Amino acid sequence: MIHCEGLVKIFKTEDLEVVALQGLNLNVQQGEMMAIIGNSGSGKSTLLNILGGLDRPSAGQVNVGGWDLLKIRDDQLVEYKRNTVGFVWQNNARNLLPYLSALENVEMPMLLTGKLDRAYARQLLEWVGLKDRMHNKLHQLSGGEQQRVAIAISLSNRPKMLLADEPTGSVDTATSDQIMNIFRQVNRELGITIVIVTHDLALAGKVDRVVAIRDGLTSTEFVKRNPNLDLASIDSGVGALQEVHEAFVVVDRVGRLQVPKEYLDAVGIGGRASMEFDGDKIIITAPKTLEGENNNES
C-alpha cells in the first residue's frame, strides 16, 4: 500500500532550510494496522502529511495505492485525497463542522463528491458507538464522542487507507482504548490500511507493527511475534512492547544498518566500529584501542 524509499522533505524560507526527512524508507502492506512513533521534530507528522497529499515530497520515492506522490498532478491529487486516503486529526475541529449534527458531518464528504449514502453514514456512526447520538449537534457531544465522529467522517468516502495523527492525544485513557478498539474493528471488517502517528508507546502493543523515526530517518521496527494475538490480551505500556514485539533495524538497498544511537552509546561505539562474521551472526564491537581490546558487543 505504501512504499517510501530515500524520501526527502526540505522546508525552505528566504534564509532558512530545514530537512524534515532525510532519506526515509518505509513499506506498509495493504490491510496492515501500524504505528509510527518518534519524538517531536522527528519527522513523523511531516511523513503523514506527505502520505495524505497535504505536502509534496522534495525527493526520493513515495507511492501510495498505485499513486506516485512525487509526480502526481494537482487535479490527480484531489482525486487521491477524496478516494484513497482518510485523515483523523488530534484536533478534531479540523474534521468537524460545529453547526451540523453528527450524521450531517459524516454525510458532508459524500455530498461533496455527489455520492450520498445515508445508510452507510448511519452504519459508520453505529460502528463508533454513536447510534443514539447521531442527531446531536457537536456542542452536545463530549470530546471523545467528537473524535469518534471524526473517525466516521474519515471513512465516509470508503478510503483505502486511514491516517491518524495523534488520535488519542487529547482524550483520557478509557476513551483512548475505545478509539483504538474502533480502529481495530474497522481494520478487520473493512480491510483498510491504518497508519497511526503517535509519541505514546502505550499504543504500540495495540497495532501489528511499530516503526520508530529519529531525525527524519526510519531507525527501528517492532513487529509482533504473534500476529494473531488478540487486542484484549495485550496490556498497554512499554512493557507490552517488549513482551510481544521483536525489534529490527532497517537495512537500506546498499546494506547500511540504521542502528539506534542509544544502542551504540551503550557499548561505547562512536564514529566507527569493528565488525566480524562468525558464520552465523555479525558481531559489532567498539574498535580496538592501543591499551587493549574492547570486547563490548552490540
pLDDT in tens, the chain (298 residues): 999 988 888 888 777 888 888 888 889 999 999 999 887 778 888 999 999 999 999 999 999 999 999 999 999 998 898 889 999 887 766 778 888 999 999 999 899 888 889 999 999 999 899 999 999 998 899 888 998 999 999 999 999 999 998 888 777 788 888 888 999 998 998 899 999 998 777 776 788 888 888 776 766 666 654 444 443 333 333 344 444 445 566 666 667 676 767 777 778 887 778 888 888 888 888 887 644 445 555 4
Q: What is the pTM of this model?
A: 0.75
Phi, psi (degrees; rounded to nearest 5) at 286: -65, 145
What's the CA gap between 215 and 44, in Å, rounded? Answer: 9
Residue in this structure with the C-alpha cell 502493543, named with its chain if needed: 205
Per the CB < 8 A criterion, the answer to whether 10 and 184 are in contact is: no
Residues 6+ apart with CB under 8 A from 79: none
